[in-house]
Structure formats: structure tokens, C-alpha cells
Amino acid sequence: MADQARTAITELRELVRGIRPPVLQDAGLVAALETQLASLPVDVRLESRGASGRRWPPTVEAAAYFMVKEAVTNAVKHAPGATLTIVLASAEEDLAVEVRDDGPGVGESAHTGRGLTGLRDRVESLGGVFTVEQGAGGGRVQARIPGREVARR
């Protein structure tokens, strides 16, 4: 099981570095996440609240996809055995994304990692809001990303 977790973490990190899987482009965010999460050696629940079959601009879907991948990678690494819940919700035009785990928590150092910092930058560059909460009852990474393209400065 430890080898499977290491393999999953490696694969997730490669994806976070920018390789967009074809299923994301072809079938959308929910299908892409279902495909990737199915192979994880942990209990993962994916909830779609109005997001199934919905498409957002490619930059929005990519930001959400990589956010989920990095948050799941962190949870597998820092909260082995935890149950993960991913919620994708269509919030008017926006996409709301939440990844939470019921693990023991890892402290403030987890908030400053390069992966989460890069995701915060990506979400905020699209005009979105990104938050990380960590405590004894688990962790939560959330984003609300505008569902339209935002002009770059």
C-alpha cells in the first residue's frame, strides 16, 4: 500500500507540473477527476453539485483540476488513511471547488509549500479566491473561480 501511495503521489506531482490529460479537454473536469481518483489507494468521494456535464473555459477547468490534484497529493502524503471528499459545485457562473480530509492535520508549514502557493497564484490570476484551512479535525482547500475568462493585466 505504501508503494501504491508513493506511485500515486509521483503521478499526481507530474500532472500538477502542467500536463493536461486528454480526458480533461475532451470530457471535462468531473470525468477527468473521476478517472484519476479511481486509482488512488485511499477512500475518495467526489461530489458534483451542478458541475457534471458543465464546461468552463479551459483555464478554469485546468486550475480546478490541478488544485484538486495537488490538494489530494498533500492529503495522501500528510494524512495517510484519511477519507478525502472533493466537491465541485456550479455557483452561478463560477466554479466552487473544495477538497477536504479528515486527517490529523499537519500544521502551518503545509500552507507555505510551493504546490499550494502555485495553485493560489493560478486561481487568483483568474480572479478567484483560494483558501487553506488546517486543524486537528482535518484540512480543507477551497477555491471559487470565475466561470468566465478574466482579462490578464
pLDDT digits (tens, 9 = 90+) for 71-113: 998 888 888 888 999 999 998 889 999 999 998 765 554 555 6
Task: Decide if domain 2-145 falls under CATH 3.30.565.10.
Answer: yes
Residue 119 CA to residue 9 CA, distance in Å, equals 17
Residue 74 CA to residue 107 CA, distance in Å, equals 12
Residue 122 CA to residue 67 CA, distance in Å, equals 9
Q: How confident is the model at residue 116 (pLDDT cuts 50, 70, 90)?
A: confident
Q: What are the cell numbers at 21?
A: 490529460
Domain boundaries, the chain: 2-145
Predicted local confidence at residue 7, as pLDDT: 75
Residue 60 CA to residue 135 CA, distance in Å, equals 28
Strand partners, 90: 95
